[in-house]
Amino acid sequence: MHADGKLVLLDEDGTLALVTVSAEGLKVLGKHSLLSNNAWTAPTLDGRRLYVRDRRKIMAVSLGD
């Protein structure tokens, strides 16, 4: 998912990352483990709310005002 020139990634272990991509490669700006089960669904951004889910739960993360 693309957000403000950055990519939001969720790996299968439930770690959410904010990255930039350039000719030099991928640069991780930050990451945090959010989920504990297999997370195979892409995150969804709606305004300033990010929705993520794994096999057992779904959560909405507020990204600020």
All domains of the chain in start order, with CATH: 2-62 (2.40.10)
Nearest Cα to Cα of residue 20 among 45, 3, 41, 39: 3
How confident is the model at residue 3, as a pLDDT? 63
pLDDT in tens, the chain (65 residues): 556 778 989 999 999 999 999 999 999 999 999 999 899 999 999 988 999 999 999 999 998 77
Give the whole-angstrom CA distance, residue 40 versus residue 21. 22
How confident is the model at residue 58, as a pLDDT? 94
Asked whether the beta carbons of 43 and 50 are under 8 A apart, the reply is yes
How confident is the model at residue 15, as a pLDDT? 94
Cut 0.85: pTM above it: no
